[in-house]
């Protein structure tokens, strides 16, 4: 009997590498494995993926009745309320343009995460310390370091100082726990990540845009989906590039709205960027109009989503995957073999 196993082992825009393993089982019990690593162009990608899909269906169909391969049962996360889409909007620096941005977001019922430099507050062009608590009511206030240095240029103790000082002051100003962060200039390396562990920071956003809707695996290296308006306006007086980047941005928004699979859209930027030429406030409002007030989107701050994902990761699951217990204080929504389940906070569910 021959047993085919095709496994996608890497994937990028242009190429896909596939292991093709053909196992020939002989009566004597000898198993012969033939492995081949194949690099193919993107036109062949869909054909190969279809073959993988078809063969795996064939393998499933060939299983004897009554045998349940429980290890293949996938328990997938859904966002709160069983939604398949979530939106995070995060803005850095805490300049005075945040006032207009927060008001606009409030008009559209959108939630934001605002990364602030506490030592810049009360200086020219920045928010006052006194307004932080009321302005960001219903939003998240988060660390962006006390003074906005490039953390990669600092010693470990200075990195810790920048993070802890900012966190302490923002907690004093808001009266709330502050547990998230965005790297100033997006700069980080292994030393920076190592230094912030143990400072109470549970996620740290980079500026490395993924242009997709994947959920980050490492919360301390949290790559966002896209910068506001793509990279439009980065090069002064380049209207052709601006047009191209704006088209990329709004295409990604559209892709998110049309997506049928689990999708996290994480847009980051700065309120002060909207004050530049090119009617950017109107474009920001156009974006907010597109993504707001939709039943299929979970609107969240970044830390609330981290808490939710941690609750999902913390589900206790029986060996046969028929009992799932939720020991957290948040209701968790899951999908098992195309059925959705709600596991109440502190509760338990039977999966049939």
Residue ranges in contact with Zn ion by CB under 5 A: 92-93
Q: Please, which residue, 116 or 291, has the CB nearer to Zn ion?
A: 116
Return the number of the residue (95 or 328) whose C-beta is nearest Zn ion: 95
> Where do runs of H (alpha helix) occur along the chain?
42-61, 97-107, 129-135, 156-174, 190-196, 239-258, 280-291, 302-313
* Rounded-to-integer distance, Cα 127 and Cα 271, Å: 12
In the complex, least distance from residue 258 CB atom to Zn ion, rounded to whole angstroms: 32
Taking the complex as a whole, the smallest distance from the CB of residue 135 to Zn ion amounts, in Å, to: 18
d(CA 167, CA 171): 6
By Cβ distance, which residue is nearest to Zn ion?
92
User: In whole angstroms, how close is the CB of 327 to Zn ion at the nearest point?
Assistant: 37
| Residue 111 or 120 having the CB closest to Zn ion | 120
CB of 283 to Zn ion, least distance (A): 21
Alpha carbons 111 and 105: distance in angstroms, whole number: 7
In the complex, least distance from residue 207 CB atom to Zn ion, rounded to whole angstroms: 9
Calpha distance 169→165 (Å, rounded): 6
Beta carbon of residue 148, minimum distance to Zn ion (angstroms, whole number): 6
**Residue 60 burial by CB count (10 A; 0-12/13-18/19+): exposed, middle or buried?**
exposed
- 94 or 230: whose CB is closer to Zn ion? 94
Choice between 115 and 298, CB closer to Zn ion = 115
CB closer to Zn ion, 18 vs 143:
143
Nearer Cβ to Zn ion (114/312): 114
Q: Closest distance between Zn ion and the C-beta of residue 144, in Å?
A: 6
**Cβ(121)–Cβ(129) below 8 Å:** yes
DSSP letters of 61-123? HTSPTT---GGG--EEEEBGGGBSEEEEEEEEE-BTHHHHHHHHHHHTT---EEEE-TTTTTS
């Amino acid at each position: 009997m021959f047993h085919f196993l095709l496994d996608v082992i890497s994937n990028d825009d242009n190429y896909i590498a596939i292991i093709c393993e053909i196992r020939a089982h002989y009566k004597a019990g000898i198993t012969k494995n033939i492995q081949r690593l194949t690099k193919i162009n993107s036109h062949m990608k869909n054909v190969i993926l279809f073959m993988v899909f078809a063969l795996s269906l064939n393998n499933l169909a060939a299983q004897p009745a009554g045998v349940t391969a429980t290890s293949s049962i996938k328990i997938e996360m859904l966002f709160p309320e069983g939604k398949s889409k979530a939106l995070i909007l995060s803005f850095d620096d805490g300049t005075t343009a945040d006032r207009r941005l927060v008001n606009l977001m409030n008009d559209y019922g959108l939630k934001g995460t605002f990364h602030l430099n506490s030592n810049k507050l009360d200086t020219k062009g920045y928010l006052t310390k006194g307004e932080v608590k009321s302005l960001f009511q219903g939003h998240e206030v988060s660390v962006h370091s006390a003074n906005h240095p490039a953390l990669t240029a600092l010693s470990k103790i200075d990195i810790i100082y920048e993070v802890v000082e900012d966190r302490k002051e923002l907690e004093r100003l808001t009266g709330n726990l502050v547990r998230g962060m965005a790297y100033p200039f997006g700069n980080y390396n292994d030393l920076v990540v190592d230094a912030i562990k143990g400072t109470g920071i549970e996620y740290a956003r980079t500026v490395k845009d993924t242009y997709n809707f994947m959920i980050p695996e490492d919360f301390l290296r949290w790559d966002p989906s896209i910068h506001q308006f793509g990279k439009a306006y980065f090069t002064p007086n380049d209207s052709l590039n601006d047009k191209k980047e704006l088209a990329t941005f709004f295409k990604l928004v559209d892709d998110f709205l049309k997506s049928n699979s689990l999708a996290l859209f994480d847009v980051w930027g700065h309120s002060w960027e909207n004050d530049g030429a090119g009617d950017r406030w109107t474009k920001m409002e156009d974006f907010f109009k597109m993504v707001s007030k939709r039943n299929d989107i979970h609107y969240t701050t970044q830390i609330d989503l981290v808490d939710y994902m941690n609750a999902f990761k913390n589900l206790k699951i029986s060996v046969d995957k028929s009992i799932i217990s939720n020991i957290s204080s948040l209701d968790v929504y899951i999908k098992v073999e195309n059925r959705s389940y709600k596991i109440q906070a502190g509760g338990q569910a039977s999966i049939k």
